[in-house]
Structure 1
């Protein structure tokens, strides 16, 4: 059995903790054979455990404690701690591993609910499971239907990822956010998010990107961790890209660009930082896949 989970980008600017897209970078899991103990074969570095303490196995055993240990191969093109849903992809893979090996027969709704409880919010895990563009909300109080989500088609357009050569942990980036907003500021921030979502549904990528750059919820507070965001925003303006936004908590920045501008935007990004990983990505429409 093979499992493939896409990378994700959360927030899309003003869709904070609610909106996300699935992207064409992937975590691959291959279940090879039963084993005396859990064994994860990978070359992802010493920080990723190779035994039952791996987050994927811990997740699976929460749902199905009696699973028979397996030898598993893990590979990934999703960079760690870069705002592209690396930990969410592992959680989603663990849920699917338990679902298949433990014959749990989980529905998509159940998978999203479980993953959201484990991750804390649905903006990464929902698109990883569903694919494409997902808007979701999570009610923290205990009740049966505490996660609601809608999947919709994300408009066609080029997506460029500027992935810096340094990590940024979400917990660090979240600590700088304010504890409260004034009512007036919250209404303005909400209105921007509403227009962004409506523009995406209408297929108006230029307007959606414009609203993404007007975020009030988090980017202005996190910018000290991502000083390259202002420079990339200027490149977008100079090269006539649609706009850019922090991917999750950063430091990765995603740029939305018309096809005819993409090459020059990518070259400008390379000139900005030769050590950064610059990739042209596409929307993953399917979400998690099992082969």
Structure 2
């Protein structure tokens, strides 16, 4: 009998202007304990997971089977115990984490020996863009791009910052957040928006966190259009800044927001935001540097 433990970190994409190309891994986790047995069984042990009916309808199973099918292999049935710290539809990469978990189940149980690059390619094909997938797979800050079918990426450690997550009680589907974006940008808009992203990444790479914070709040690609979906957008940005944040942006497609602060300053910032938004879940998150972790053994 094979036993696996798969742990996948949450992720936050975009960091403002680095739209669809940058993600960071966070220390909230989707964890799967997998044991082979005679039939498939999924057990959810977290309030943050959806209600399940049959295993065939389970997203993680579907991804695992889809991965195995590409190699004309059959997945051995398993009992999968699922725990999650990642809230659904809040802009924290829950679907990317689940997709990675599914690919990794097939990778391990079917002995595919997929490289990180191959897993990233699989995950990107499932998600449509690599930002969340790359961060959860590799950890740290990952800048990536999808060129035709190839994913190119650079990982940066980004260890001098910590994040404060402001997570509302309501969901926002990615499709809804995408629908408010314009179909086209003028050349001037695109050039300015891209230059802001370039300076953001250069500032993070060089350790100039103050400048990075300024750049992340100047996005032109998506935040001006999505802000109207988030009644808390302006006040959280303003109050986080007053409490010492370098910068606050929408996490992924929202509705969560993420504020970046100096290491050790997150707790006081979180207290301030929690007082303002008692119905929100406000928590300090560290940047996960390792990405997905797999432990396996024969039992």
**In which range does the TM-score fall when normalised by the shorter chain?**
over 0.9
1:1-291 equivalences under 5 Å are: 1-36=4-39, 38-43=40-45, 44=47, 45-49=49-53, 51-65=55-69, 66-139=74-147, 141=148, 143=149, 146-259=150-263, 261-291=265-295
The runs of 5 or more residues in structure 2 that have no matched partner are: none
How many Å apart are 1:29 and its aligned residue? 0.4
Equivalent position SS for 2:248: strand
Distance, in Å, in 1 between the alignment partners of 2:52 and 2:93 is: 15
Distance, in Å, in 2 between the alignment partners of 1:263 and 1:281 is: 10
Change (3 A) 1:48 1:84: farther
Distance, in Å, in 1 between the alignment partners of 2:274 and 2:230 is: 16
Change (3 A) 1:179 1:48: farther
- Output one character per residue of 1:93-147: Cα deviation in whole Å (capped at 9) or x when no partner: 01111100011010100010110000100010001111110000012x4x5xx11
TM-score relative to the length of structure 2? 0.92
- How many residue pairs get matched? 286
TM-score relative to the length of structure 1? 0.94
- Which deviates more from structure 2 when the two are superposed, residues 261-270 or residues 130-139? 261-270
Distance, in Å, in 2 between the alignment partners of 1:79 and 1:40 is: 19
